[in-house]
Amino acid sequence: MLIKRWLYNARSFAAPQNIMPSVLAVVLAVGVPGFNIWLGLLAVIGVCMVHLGGNLLDDYFDWQDELLDYREELRKEGEQAFTDKYPYLRDGSTTVPQLRLAIAVFMGIALLCGAIIWWQRDFDKWILGIALLSALLCYFYSAPPLKLGFHGLGELVIGICFGPCLVCGVYQSACGALYSAESGFAWHILALGCAIGMFVTNILYTHSFVERHVDAVSHKKTLAVVLRTNFAGLVAYAIFLFVPFLLVLLCVFTGYIHWSYALVCLMLPQSLWLMWAMVKFARGEEVATDHPHAWLGPMDNWAQVEEGNRYYLLRWYTMRNINTGFCFILAVVKLSLYFLS
């Protein structure tokens, strides 16, 4: 089926990293004056379309730059290199014009969703500003002339787009209360968005760190390449991995949110394991990949994952699952407080 094939090409398996934060933003808006669940859900759909279209757009520019050739050459030389990039173009099942059309369809749906929300929210300036900033950052992540992902800014750009911009934008779409004259700016929403943004940054940075040697050879200057050393890279990884917990605790201690939101600390065991796994990778030490621990979360179709790609996907899936679990706990706490109050 055509739709199913393009969802697969657009890496829909990564959708939880944007769906859960988007749903969380809608849940956080529940009970706030002006809440409209339909506009919130429309924003969730728009975010998903941007993510899927953005993945295809990244494939398109990587294909133009022939980055996969570097990875395959390193794999032949016995190096670890993730090579599961745009297989639909390599096997000839999809043409470049078809890829361009698919990108246009995904982005067109996202634009339509945004336009409806903007109209229904009386042409709200916050929604417009967040949407324009996100669109520019997402496009120039891999597109010339900026190619932010090639200059050490890609991870941070994606973290901003799918962290604070996503959470604040969907929240504003759902209730229109990001700022009001009575209560001021919703700082706790921004803080939670930044926390999620750091996790999303680390999802991409997981790839950058373990593929640092490949990106360096292909002249793609990711954040991991810019930081150069294992020590600096691991410090950055720890910041992106653990500061989100501190942001939630800060909101709790300052009274912006209820103490029960601190239950996100239940995700710390997975985070500690992942940090250990990244240190092991930096030392050149193997981590067992045959049967991942069940408590690390779902590892999609693990039995079918190529052996040579497991070293990366084990860590990537774990980071994705941490982000998903973090958002899920926040959403459950919010709904529990709302219905029990």
- Mapping DSSP onto H, E and C, the string for 95-158 reads CHHHHHHHHHHHHHHHHHHHHHHHHHCCCCHHHHHHHHHHHHHHHCCCCCCCCHHHECCHHHHH
Q: How far is CA 162 from the centre of its chain?
A: 6
Nearest CA to 297 out of 323, 264, 329 is that of 323
Is the backbone of residue 86 left (phi > 0), alpha (psi -120 to 50) or beta?
A: left
Say if residue 84's pLDDT is above 80. Answer: no
pLDDT computed for residue 86 by the predictor: 66
The total of other beta-carbon atoms located within 10 Å of residue 174's CB is 30
Higher pLDDT, 289 or 253: 253
**What DSSP line would sit under 195-252, residue for residue?**
HHHHHHHHHHHHHHHHTHHHHHHTT-B-HHHHH-SHHHHHHHHHHHHHHHHHHHHHHH
Task: State the DSSP H helix or E strand holding residue 159, giving kind and residue range, or none if neither.
Answer: helix 154-160
pLDDT score recorded for residue 81: 46
For 31, the token pair is 């009970």
pLDDT digits (tens, 9 = 90+) for 171-184: 999 999 999 878 88
State the angle between helix axes of 125-139 and 166-175 in degrees (0 to 180), rounded to the nearest 10.
150
Q: Specify the range with the lowest mean pLDDT, choosing from 63-67, 124-128, 273-277, 289-293.
A: 63-67
Q: What is the DSSP letter of 263?
A: G
